Amino acid sequence: MTGASRGIGRALAQTLASYGHDLVLVARDTDALRCVARELRKRYGVKASALPADLATRDGLAVVAETAATADILVNNAGAALGAPFSRTAWDGDRSNENSMLALNVTAPTCLIHAALPRMQERGFGRILNIGSVAGTGPVWAASTYGPSKAYLLGLTQSLALSSEIRTSNVRLTCLVLGHAVSEFHEQAGLPPSPRMLTLPTHFVADTAVRAIHRRRPPTVYVPGVRYKVLNFLLTHAPGGLTRIPGLVTDLTTVEK
């Protein structure tokens, strides 16, 4: 699983280990990753190895893809966001941060699914959990490429899950549509702290998501928590004008780094 060194990724790794799964943990922070691997081995008695890699680079992605091809469960959790609007990542400026974000949110999960899916079909079993965002279901992260990148991951999950070759197999894909959770994600992106009333406990998210993919027929889209189920429904089904109500939409033009 990717992005396993902290936050939601670490919680997902702990929950998967509690189910008895051996794990290959991927992240850039070598020391943090090895610490998590040691913790899982000691606490749960599973095999847990650290695979430090930068998924925003071609070499790092290639190494992880080799491992993904052997996985029964692939978790695409690594991702990033930017605390700046689209106008500040202009083509004539420094777009390195935006390029890295799109590499993590779009290119990396696509490549890893390409590597894992055919082998899962050959073995007759597989689960793929993609960590999406409520920002991918509507304009809740306005003026940024983050929301569209998560919309892509949601769309890719649905497109593959509904295909005849997947529906007739024992391979299932699920997109976890996540809202605010207790993690370092927003701080790293340069964004304001999450509203307390919309913040979900990290382990609640991890426990319910892992339970969902262990069902005989896992859901294609999984939204944890009643609050986000309601918000996701509104963003998906409400008339377009309602999704622009202040409070539903986060306009990054007001965010200062």
Closest CA relative to residue 38, chosen from 81, 74, 72, 4: 4
pLDDT at residue 98 in the model: 87
pLDDT at residue 24 in the model: 98
Q: What confidence tier does 72 reach under pLDDT thresholds 50, 70, 90?
A: very high
Give the model confidence (pLDDT) of 108-117 as tens digits: 999 999 999 9
Identify which has the larger pLDDT, 81 or 207: 207
Cα gap 51→54, rounded to integer Å: 10
Q: Which of 56-60, 199-203, 243-247 has the highest mean pLDDT?
A: 56-60
Q: Which phi and psi (to 5°) does residue 144 adopt?
A: -140, 155
Cα gap 74→252, rounded to integer Å: 32
What are the residues facing 75 on neighbouring strands?
129
What are the residues facing 2 on neighbouring strands?
26
pLDDT at residue 198 in the model: 59
Give the model confidence (pLDDT) of 15-29 as tens digits: 999 999 999 999 999
Closest CA relative to residue 44, chosen from 27, 19, 26, 25: 19
Identify which has the larger pLDDT, 249 or 174: 174
- Token pair for residue 130? 């993609």
Identify which has the larger pLDDT, 244 or 101: 101
Q: What confidence tier does 241 reach under pLDDT thresholds 50, 70, 90?
A: very low
Identify which has the larger pLDDT, 104 or 226: 104
Mean pLDDT across 58-66? 97
Mean pLDDT across 23-39? 97
Mean pLDDT across 4-11? 93
pLDDT of 246 strictly over 50: no
0.75 surpassed by pTM: yes
Cα gap 228→199, rounded to integer Å: 10
Give the model confidence (pLDDT) of 177-222 as tens digits: 986 554 454 455 445 555 555 567 889 899 999 999 999 999 999 9
pLDDT at residue 91 in the model: 58
Give the model confidence (pLDDT) of 131-165 as tens digits: 998 888 876 656 678 889 999 999 999 999 999 99
Give the model confidence (pLDDT) of 83-105 as tens digits: 677 777 665 566 788 889 999 99
Q: Which of 84-88, 173-177, 224-228 has the highest mean pLDDT?
A: 173-177
Residue 195, classed as helix, strand or coil, is: coil
User: Please, which contacts does 224-230 make with residues 24 or more away whose CB atoms are closer than 8 Å?
Assistant: 224/176, 224/178, 224/200, 225/179, 225/200, 227/179, 227/197, 227/198, 228/134, 228/177, 228/178, 228/179, 228/198, 228/200
